[in-house]
Structure 1
Amino acid sequence: MATERKLNSAPRVVAHKVLNNNVVISIDVSGQERVLMGRGLGFQLLPTDTIDPAKVEKTFILDQGAGAEHARQLLTTVPYSVIEAVTTAVDEAERALGRSLGRRLQLAIIDHIQYVLERMQKGIRMPTTSMPELRVLHPQEFAAATVMSQSVGASLQTALPEEEALFLTMHILNATRDEPNGTAALLFRRVQHVVTTVEGGLGVKLDPVSPDYARFILHIQFLLQRLVAKAMLRGSDTSFFEFAKHSYPRSYAIAADIKSYVSAATGSDLTDEELLYVIVHVERLANQIVDAATA
């Protein structure tokens, strides 16, 4: 599904099917369905009437297949105020990020926000974690999602829960397929699993605002990206790896667990050179914990 701000300067657009006062379906010259939206656009409009282009505020081009029916139903049942608020907020996010967020994001966000509003009316709040890794790995997307949540809430005069910025960030990442072996969201989940492994091995919750934490998160992200790109670090001198392995047994054991997880998740094994850097980062985090306890 694609979206446009205004109709192109077509000579004549016929209303084909009126879904409600704000939503009309037309068929373009190529036979593709378009959902046209605007306040009062469909009021007293007949299927054979010509549509006034000045009244069209949004245009959704429907994909072929089962998804088109879901999109049509969603755009018909969700209040126009929600659709208007979301599409405006997504436009703002795309401008802030300087890129398109894909053809299906707006529908996904409309569906999500409507579900959030329904939950709020029932007094239901979804449990979530703070996901500090998200802020470190994807600060631009998180910032855009935060503004998006605030923008939608302001438009609807309903403050959305604070955690919506996290959920909207995940939607943005899912819409950005920029890794050769999956989405940015998949990469994030793998990093998150590695963090959980380290915290379990050290028996503590890591400090998400510490510089060592940020360095570790970024290192794991780049490690996973190198793994997918088959561009892992390799070295002929194993003496440093053997030294770290025997000098830091706990950090080595945690790094070995990470290696096992990464191997199962990606089908590729970490080199000793890559594992060495993981050991060093984990040991640095362990020393930070000791320093904090003795301070």
Structure 2
Amino acid sequence: MKNSTGDFKIIKVLNNNVLFVLQNNKEKILFERGIGFGKKIDDLISADTHVEKVFSIENENNSNTFKQLVSTVNTNIIGICEEIISMISKELNENLNEKIHISLTDHISFTLKRLLSNDTIQNPFLIETATLYKTEFELAKKAVKMLEEKTNIEIPEDEVGFIALHIHSARKKGELSNTIKYAFLSNTIIEFIEDELDITIDKHSIDYARFITHLRFTIERIINSSPIKNELLNAIKHAYPESYKLSSKICKLLEDELHKKVVEDETAYLVMHIERIKNNTKGSILK
């Protein structure tokens, strides 16, 4: 990869593969195998140097926050996190939101401290995250493997789920808080259905996967105000009155949480998934 005019001035050597640099008054992160070996602060790296990945942090607030991280978080941990971010970007062939350099690094640093203190990491949205964000979850597994290899710290699967949420947030250019909120909302609805139907849903079943995936797209349509049309609305309403009543309660919950109107057509689509769950309570859906 050729860089723009102007040599890179080293601000911080994060590890042998990652440098925090300044080029043309812009802070950047360089990733290339061995690029940091033997280097020190204020050394210059030629703009013609081959670099596998260049990350820029354009937003001033983000830049200031990242510099605070660099000054407070273990340099080796920041370097590992940047290698992970580079891996994720390469695997997806996507540019990630620049906030991931802050949010993921801060999260991983704090998690490692907790694990070293023998704290328990618990993720209430693990199965929802693995089901909804399969690609991100697989990348998070790779990230955890990299962390374990470089730190010799055993990392629980619950942490895979948290890293996956960070990846999803960076892909969607959204706030991590929203990603977590929607995972929490999906989990809340599943628990609500279990209470209403007096069942325990097997979260490893195909019916669960179908429902949670449909719910994800339902939430996205509601947020984006992109209502769907259901030509069988009236037929479904009359054929499955009890499930329709439950679906209406779910849609009311969605309206309250998302502060958006949910059209009746969405209610009807949820009915069919509820019916499938009810009909399979003596099969794979019941634990």
In the superposition, the TM-score normalised over structure 1's length comes to 0.77
What is aligned with 1:90? 85
Report whether the alignment pairs 1:243 with 2:239. Answer: yes
What is aligned with 2:185? 190
Q: Which amino acid aligns with 2:76?
A: S
**Quick check: which has more Rg, 1 or 2?**
1
| 2:14 and 2:20 in contact (8 A); partners too | no
What is aligned with 1:105? 100
Rate the CA distance shift 1:13–1:244 in 2: closer, same or farther, 3 A: closer
Aligned counterparts of 2:66 and 2:97: Cα–Cα separation in 1: 15
Report whether the alignment pairs 1:278 with 2:270. Answer: yes
Please report the RMSD computed on the Cα atoms of aligned residues, expressed in angstroms: 3.6
| SS class of match (2:280) | helix
Q: Which amino acid aligns with 1:159?
A: E
What is aligned with 1:3? none
Aligned counterparts of 1:294 and 1:198: Cα–Cα separation in 2: 13
| 1:39 and 1:55 in contact (8 A); partners too | no
What is aligned with 1:287? 279
What is aligned with 1:32? 26
What is aligned with 1:167? 162
Could you tell me how far 1:143 is from its partner in structure 2? 0.6
1:41 to 39, 49, 64: 39
| 1:14 and 1:26 in contact (8 A); partners too | yes
Rate the CA distance shift 1:80–1:121 in 2: closer, same or farther, 3 A: same
Unaligned runs of 5+ in 2: none
Aligned counterparts of 1:171 and 1:157: Cα–Cα separation in 2: 22
What is aligned with 2:256? 264
Unaligned runs of 5+ in 1: 1-5
**1:113-161 deviations in Å (ceiling 9; x for gaps):** 1111211221112322363222222111111111111112112222222
Identity %, equivalent residues: 21
Q: Which amino acid aligns with 2:203?
A: P
Report whether the alignment pairs 1:125 with 2:145. Answer: no
Aligned counterparts of 1:203 and 1:217: Cα–Cα separation in 2: 19
1:51 to 44, 51, 58: 44
Could you tell me how far 1:9 is from its partner in structure 2? 6.4
In the superposition, the TM-score normalised over structure 2's length comes to 0.79
Report whether the alignment pairs 1:200 with 2:195. Answer: yes
Paired residue total: 276
Rate the CA distance shift 1:143–1:194 in 2: closer, same or farther, 3 A: same
